[in-house]
Amino acid sequence: MAIQRQHGAEHPYWPLGPFKVRLPFIHYRWEYPEMVQGLFMFVVGLAMIPLLQKYLGMPYEAALAFCVIAGIGYMLPALLGVPLVPGWITPAIPVVILFLQGFEPGPDAVRAMFALQIMVFVIFLFLGITGLGNKLVTVIPNSLKSGIIIGAGIAAMMGELKAGGRIDSTPVSLLLGSIVSAYILFSLSFKHIVETNKLAKTISNFGMIPGLFVAILVGWAVGEYPLPDIQWGITQPDFKGMTEYLIFAVGVPSLDMFLLAIPTAIIAYVIAFGDILVGFTLCKRVDHLRQDEQIELDVTRVHLVTALRNGIHAFFAPWPGLAGPLWTAAHATVAERYALGRKSMDSIYSGGGTFWITGFIALFILPLVSFFKPVLPIALSLTLVLTAYICIMVGMEELKSSTERGVAGIVAVTLAMPDPKATVYAVVIGLVLYWLIERPNAAARAKQDLSIIGDNTADIEAGDEHGVARK
């Protein structure tokens, strides 16, 4: 039986330096709805296989072994005390692909991917150890943070809707799957139905799975995806073959590769930083509904765990998706169920922990892997579409004035441009607009607030004098 948490306290853990270790069955209970989701949603992790095959030149079995390494990384955040459900730096994938296109698939591309991922590792590690990552949350202007979040969402959506995107080849399955997923996850009318209908409540527990299955069934029905060749047994990832695509076999990248990787690594970090903000916002939205648990949102720990995951990937499974702090769609699903109360989910850690432990086990279940093999692209597409919606929703919520909305809008549009340097331009433009437009207004508002405080103080003092006179 798991260690019981006192009402209103932080969930039990074992301290380990900057980390807080939590294990299933010892520190938290097993969540069966998240287990079911993990058995199916692990397919999104497999969606990286086509990119590994195309841009790194890997065979399927070796790419599957890379997915196993990724699966180990997915379990680390809940294990080490991070309440976010991890994933890739999803909106950065188009930029990473653009970077990899400059190299021949095979050893050259593997070296380039290592250079990029080790740079991302260094950025996260430096900001985590120094604590500067924690300061960035308060230092970066609200309009810039929100603009980055909204822009990442727009970029993710446009990647699916652009000419030659998934909407061209699989329009029916993508549209219907997205509509069903969005309705179940975000619709106010569906939430009202959930309150009175047991079937609707059961469906809501499985997040985006119903939408994924609708997309798969429709895709098969209209011929947008081939039918699966289901096989039985245990998968056989080619761990020996994958070593041919590691830095130990292909050699160290040149200095030029490291220099070329720096802009892309910075872009990836800025987007990942936006993911951290989105994840924290989603946690705060449900934290006030659950008085029984105190959720600790530690930016430094998120940086250290994300650095660790990227370091593992760099040496043992170079990964075009990179290791990101948040899988937005999955975390939103966990957070929504967490908000229903302790009976629904014991702890935010039990939800995320159960989800990815199950997802790791599912990698070895051959019937599941073979079933989903033909439809891997639709799982990635639904994740991108839901990520876009959540990013835009959360980013807009954080904006407090028309000036902030204007600056954030310019940042978002700039970030979404189809240019590998768009994120750099967006950050520069956002900072310039903040100092030219927002900063004077902020100073004026502060001065006005001080004036109001002074007037109120005078009124209070006058009231006190009258009160003394009356006495």
The pLDDT value given to residue 441: 60
Indicate whether 31 belongs to any domain: yes
Distance of CA 276 to the CA centre of its chain: 7
Indicate whether 29 belongs to any domain: yes
Number of domains in the chain: 1
Residue 446 CB contacts under 8 Å (≥ 6 apart), including other chains: none
End-to-end CA distance of the chain: 64
Consecutive H or E run containing 15: strand 14-16
Rounded Cα distance between 346 and 33, Å, is 12
Consecutive H or E run containing 275: helix 255-287
- Residue 187's SS3 state is coil
Residue 186 CB contacts under 8 Å (≥ 6 apart), including other chains: 389, 393
Total-model pTM: 0.79
Segments forming the whole domain that contains residue 349: 14-170+225-394
Indicate whether 451 belongs to any domain: no
Rounded Cα distance between 362 and 234, Å, is 10
Backbone angles phi, psi at 365, to 5 degrees: -95, 100
- Residue 165's SS3 state is coil
Indicate whether 25 belongs to any domain: yes
User: Is 102 exposed, middle or buried (CB count within 10 Å of its CB: 0-12, 13-18, 19+)?
Assistant: exposed
Token pair of 242 as six digits: 């994958």
Rounded Cα distance between 452 and 266, Å, is 42
Indicate whether 335 belongs to any domain: yes
Full DSSP string of 370-421: HHHGGGHHHHHHHHHHHHHHHHHHHHHHT--SHHHHHHHHHHHHHHTSSSTT
Q: CA dihedral in degrees (456, 457, 461, 462; nearest 10)? A: -30
- As a residue count, the chain comes to 471
Indicate whether 427 belongs to any domain: no
The pLDDT value given to residue 369: 93
Indicate whether 40 belongs to any domain: yes
Indicate whether 83 belongs to any domain: yes
pLDDT tens for each residue of the chain, 471 residues long? 678 888 888 999 999 999 999 999 999 999 998 998 899 888 888 989 988 998 999 999 999 999 999 999 999 999 999 999 999 998 778 778 878 888 999 999 999 999 999 999 999 999 988 878 767 666 778 888 888 888 878 887 887 887 777 787 888 998 999 999 889 888 888 888 888 888 888 787 677 788 888 999 999 999 988 898 899 999 999 999 999 999 999 999 999 999 888 888 887 887 888 888 889 988 988 888 888 999 999 999 999 999 999 999 999 999 999 999 998 878 988 998 898 888 889 999 999 999 999 999 999 999 999 998 888 888 878 878 887 888 888 788 888 888 899 999 999 998 888 776 676 788 889 889 998 888 766 555 545 544 544 454 444 344 444 443 333
With CA atoms as reference, report the closest residue to 176 among 393, 385, 391: 385
